[in-house]
A and B are shown apart, each in its own frame.
Chain A
Amino acid sequence: MDIQRFYEQFRSEDIIMSYKGSASIDLLSNLMDTLQIKLSEIEPKSSVRKRVFNVLVEVIQNIYHHYGKCHSQNAYDEETVNFLIAKTDANYFIIAGNTIFNEEIPMLRSRIDLINSLSPDRLKQVYMQTLSNGVLSEKGGAGLGLIEIARKSGGKLDYEFYPLSNRLSFFSLMVKIPAALPAAA
């Protein structure tokens, strides 16, 4: 799927918020605060609002954890991220993108493909195993983010890698969350 093209096809009235530019902890925090206020204005069902916000937190913190990693390695001058949340009649869409090293692609791809291949029951098992295995990364990443995003969305994760150079690619992730709530996996 061509996520960037998908990105451009939203009608402006469907877009709740979009951002493209450099990132920082403060900016990502402000994005979360603003989105929470916007969601409380547009989404009457608190269960849907909470689920969308939960996914947003994981998506934004994924960007943050990745951003910090590249930044500390001083790998490139430009740290562009993009982020969009839109609502159509039936679904919320969250699209997030950030630059990654090309050597990270195979692992990330196989991780998302694995998550997409699992049944809801199996996804829950993997979630529970990861939750209880006692492994926490130094930056606080728990390896649970993508699993949780998939569980909460109840569908497949769409993604793409767009090559930027022989070192870098742009990674985009798109999550669709039904506005009418299905049961969680």
Chain B
Amino acid sequence: MENFFLEETSKTPKLSFDVSTGKFLMSGRSIPENSIEFYKPLFEWLDEYVKKPCPKTTFDIKLEYFNTSSSKCLVEIFRRLEKIKDAEIVINWFYEEDDEDMQESGEDFRELIDIPIVMHMIAN
């Protein structure tokens, strides 16, 4: 299978999902009007990936903004990654020092998701 890559736009994040290294990145903004339409190809890619994942998958999330429909899609992404068995997976959630809302969002996901989410503060 091929890597999944999309450049960042003013409303959608950069998506870089490398199937050979297991390094995943989502960065920028996620505020599309129709989040499902945007994320559907990634959902399908992940459905394939979890069948034969890398020994270690590292998912870095560095978002500046996201809307509520994107937060639902993030849950959908995490639910797929929860299916990975017999392989390591970690999610790194990055937030800026004074961005309490982004910090809290990461903590909310930690409560919901059965994958380790490591919080990383970016100092200003």
Give me the interface of A with B, judged by CB distance under 8 Å: 25, 29, 32-33, 45-47, 50-51, 53-54, 57-58, 61, 64-65, 127-128, 131-132, 134, 136, 138-142, 144-145, 147-148, 152, 181, 183-184
Complex: chain B residue closest to A47, CB-CB: B98
Tell me the bound Cα distance from A106 to B43 in angstroms: 36
Contact present for B96 and A142 (CB under 8 Å): no
Give me the interface of B with A, judged by CB distance under 8 Å: 10-11, 31-37, 64-65, 67-69, 71-73, 75-76, 79, 96, 98-102, 104, 108, 111-112
Known: A128-B111, A140-B33, A140-B36. 20 other contacts (CB 8 A): A29-B11, A32-B31, A45-B98, A47-B99, A47-B101, A50-B99, A53-B65, A57-B31, A58-B67, A61-B31, A61-B67, A127-B108, A131-B75, A132-B112, A136-B36, A136-B73, A138-B36, A142-B71, A152-B101, A181-B100
Residues of A contacting B111 in the complex (Cβ-Cβ under 8 angstroms) = 128
Residues of A contacting B36 in the complex (Cβ-Cβ under 8 angstroms) = 136, 138, 140
Tell me the bound Cα distance from A16 to B36 in angstroms: 32
Closest chain B CB from A103 CB (angstroms): 25
Pick the contact of B68: A33, A53, A58, A138 (CB < 8 A).
Answer: A58
Given A128-B111, A131-B75, A132-B112, A144 and B68 contact (CB-CB distance below 8 Å): yes
Contact present for A46 and B96 (CB under 8 Å): yes
Looking at A134, A141, A181, the one whose CB has the most chain B CB atoms below 10 A away is A141
Tell me the bound Cα distance from A66 to B122 in angstroms: 37
Pick the contact of B100: A47, A53, A57, A61 (CB < 8 A).
Answer: A47
Tell me the bound Cα distance from A58 to B31 in angstroms: 9
Residues of A contacting B71 in the complex (Cβ-Cβ under 8 angstroms) = 131, 142, 144
Pick the contact of B37: A46, A131, A140 (CB < 8 A).
Answer: A140
Q: What are 18 inter-chain pairs, A to B, with CB distance below 8 A? A: A47-B99, A47-B101, A50-B99, A50-B101, A54-B65, A61-B69, A65-B33, A131-B71, A132-B75, A134-B75, A138-B36, A140-B69, A142-B68, A142-B69, A142-B71, A144-B68, A147-B68, A152-B101
